[in-house]
Amino acid sequence: MKGLRRVSAVTITAGAVLTAGAFTASAQAATTASPTIAAKGGFVMNNATGKSLFTKAADTRLSTGSTTKIMTARVVLAQSNLNLDAKVTVQKAYSDYIVDNNWASSAKLIVGDKVTVRQLLYGLMLPSGCDAAYALADKFGTGSTRAARVKSFIGKMNTTAKSLGLTNTHFDSFDGIGHGANYSTPRDLTKLASSAMKYSTFRSVVKTKSTKQKVTTKNGGYRYMSWTNTNNLLGSYSGTIGVKTGSGPEAKYCLVFAATRSGKTMIGTVLASTSVDNRTKDAKKLMDYGFSR
């Protein structure tokens, strides 16, 4: 009987070990299970290696909303002999554009003020100013008329997309208020953001939660412009370093995001999510998943 009891005890112990192992395996599987997101498209990759860690309709062309402005900034920063302190006079056309487009978000630039290129980049990326985007397109496009300069700038956006191998991307606007041919994919936008993040000025701008900028008025005085970043991952997700929100009737709710933890950077995109809250939740899920891989 004693021998039988000993065998039974060993059997029970072995069973307990197997059960505990199964629970551990299930817990690990649960933490690394591919997440479900509300967005129509999503993508996340390891920024250092370029390894894809999550894809959902990653190569499906979708409207991008103001995530387009990542390319606007990228084109500006790639200009040869760029002077970030060069001053640009705010034109009435920029403020009229905001009035004429219901979905246009604004940096609230004031006609006649002189703002630097660097300040325009903050106005572009934090409050997502379409007026700042217009000013940059007008400044860095070429041509004898404003329309020609804007067309030239959008051409540079598309040339840059081709040079980066973004085969499913096309722009027909400088700010994402498209005219039927402004689209990209979660994978392409992530690659674009990764390229833009190589510029130190871009990194500095997109990680800024809020800023107060001193600008020169047309009378030679000065005023302060205060801008707050629309990316609410900043301050709510540990390690967030950018990048850009977007929205619109067709685009729905978009977010290109990046975070660094323990020396590892995740970068990705969600397009056509169902709300501001859900695009944030989607991004957090994808980054959590990326960091767990």
Query: Hey, what are 144's tokens?
Result: 């004898």
Asked if residues 58 and 187 have their Cβ atoms less than 8 Å apart, the reply is yes
Query: Which residue of the set 63, 128, 173, 247 is catalytic?
Result: 128
Q: Which of 69, 191, 244, 285 is catalytic?
A: 69
Active site residue 66: yes
Q: Is the peptide bond before 243 cis (omega within 30 degrees of 0)?
A: yes
212 catalytic? Reply is: no
Catalytic residue among 56, 63, 66, 273: 66
Residue 239 vs residues 63, 252, 261, 288: alpha-carbon distances, Å:
28, 26, 6, 11
State yes or no: is 273 an active-site residue: no
CA distance 130 to 36: 32
For 85-129, give the DSSP string: T-EEEPPHHHHHHHHH-TT-------TT-EEEHHHHHHHHHSS--
Q: Smallest Cα–Cα separation from 229: which of 250, 256, 252, 249?
A: 256
Residues identified as active-site: 66, 69, 128
